[in-house]
C-alpha cells in the first residue's frame, strides 16, 4: 500500500497521520480525509499555509505517493522584526 502523511504541530505536540495515497486526490481532499481538522479546531484552510516537505503548495495541488503534507501555524511575530528587537536589546 502506498502512503501519504498529514502533519501539524502546536507548541505542545506534533501529530503526523498516515493515510493511503489516492491518485488524483487534491491536498485539500487528503487533509479533509485525514480527520486532522476535527482534532485541531484552530486550523482554517483558508488562512493556514500548506506545504509539502517544507515547500509551500496550493490546496488544489495533487500530492504524490510518500509526500508529507504540512499545515503551518501563522507566525505570531515577524522573524525579521524579532531579530531587530534582539539586536537592539544586546
pLDDT one-digit tens code per residue, 25-81: 999 999 999 999 999 999 999 999 999 999 999 999 999 999 999 999 987 777 788
d(CA 62, CA 43): 20
pTM: 0.83
Domain count of the fold of the chain? 1
Q: What is the CATH number of the domain that holds 59?
A: 3.10.20.30
| Residue in 83, 63, 8, 68 with CA at minimum distance from that of residue 39 | 8
pLDDT tens column, 2-35 = 999 999 999 899 999 999 999 999 999 999 999 9
Domain span at 54: 3-89
Amino acid at each position: 500500500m502506498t502512503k501519504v502523511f498529514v502533519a501539524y504541530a502546536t507548541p505542545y505536540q506534533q501529530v503526523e497521520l498516515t493515510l493511503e495515497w489516492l491518485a488524483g486526490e487534491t491536498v485539500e481532499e487528503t487533509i479533509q480525509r485525514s480527520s486532522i481538522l476535527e482534532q485541531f479546531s484552530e486550523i482554517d484552510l483558508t488562512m493556514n499555509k500548506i506545504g509539502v516537505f517544507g515547500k509551500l503548495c496550493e490546496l488544489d495541488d495533487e500530492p504524490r505517493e510518500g509526500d508529507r503534507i504540512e499545515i503551518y501555524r501563522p507566525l505570531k511575530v515577524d522573524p525579521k522584526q524579532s531579530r531587530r528587537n534582539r539586536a537592539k536589546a544586546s
